[in-house]
Chains A and B, each alone.
Chain A
Amino acid sequence: MAIKETKSVAEMPQGVRMNPWLIGVAAWAFPGAGHFLLGRWVRGLIISGVVCCMFVVGMLFGGHLFGLGGQETGSSRLLQLPPTIANLGTGLIYLICWASNSGFSDAAEYAKLATFEYGNTFLLVAGLLNYLAMLDAFDIAVGRKP
């Protein structure tokens, strides 16, 4: 079955057009969802695949998700904020991990892994890439990009 991508927002029928903010939220919540809603199936699948792959590889490498609920105080707690924002970029995936308390452990058994820092980097960049994809979906939805 051939997959045809919609060329531009202007070509979309009026009924298909959606609120760009809704598309932005969907794109944040699940990687690629914003592009799916815009009919950009190929782009959505690739973005979804890459972000999910980076997240899974990061977890397999023993990476650790950052959060603000730790025992740090003062400026140490403030330093947790940027990586938490980056991790939060993976949307529902991060929230599911947070709700099930998986991936947040900074136990010595993970920290001693040779790939621990690689895993952290993959997890951080997965979130940042999803922010980029979210902005791309939003720009397409408002007609700034073809």
Chain B
Amino acid sequence: MVMILFAALVSVVFGMVARDTGRERLFYGLKVFAEFIGIGIALAWVLYFLPF
């Protein structure tokens, strides 16, 4: 839940400052959000299998 909250807040600001039109901002924000969640889950699984 914390990761989702973090990803949502950060992707909103990234979307606001990185693109010019509203549609581009929306899609970029959603893309950044999905990347945060995807990479977070992937990293969590990688760390799960590490013995140290």
Task: Say whether A46 contacts B17, CB under 8 Å.
Answer: no
Task: Say whether B6 contacts A122, CB under 8 Å.
Answer: yes
Cβ of A26 < 8 Å from any Cβ of B? Answer: no
Cβ of B16 < 8 Å from any Cβ of A? Answer: yes
Contact of A46 with B12 at beta-carbon distance under 8 Å, contacts A132-B17, A133-B17, A146-B20 already known: yes
Chain A residues contacting B13 (CB-CB under 8 Å) are 46-47, 50-51, 129, 132-133
Contact of A125 among B2, B6, B16 (CB under 8 A): B6
Main secondary structure of the interface of A (DSSP, over half): helix
Main secondary structure of the interface of B (DSSP, over half): helix
Contact of A115 among B2, B12, B14, B16 (CB under 8 A): B2
Chain B interface bracket (under 10, 10 to 19, 20 to 34, 35 or more): 10 to 19
Size of interface on A: residues with Cβ below 8 Å to B: 20
Across the two chains, which residue of chain B brings its CB closest to A119? Answer: B2
Closest Cβ of chain A to B27, distance in Å, is 16
List A residues at the B interface (Cβ < 8 Å). 43, 46-47, 50-51, 53-54, 57, 115, 118, 121-122, 125, 129, 132-133, 135-136, 145-146
24 of the cross-chain contacts (CB-CB < 8 Å) are: A46-B12, A46-B16, A47-B16, A50-B9, A50-B12, A50-B13, A51-B13, A54-B9, A57-B5, A115-B2, A118-B2, A121-B6, A122-B6, A125-B6, A129-B10, A129-B13, A132-B13, A133-B13, A133-B16, A133-B17, A135-B17, A136-B16, A136-B17, A145-B20
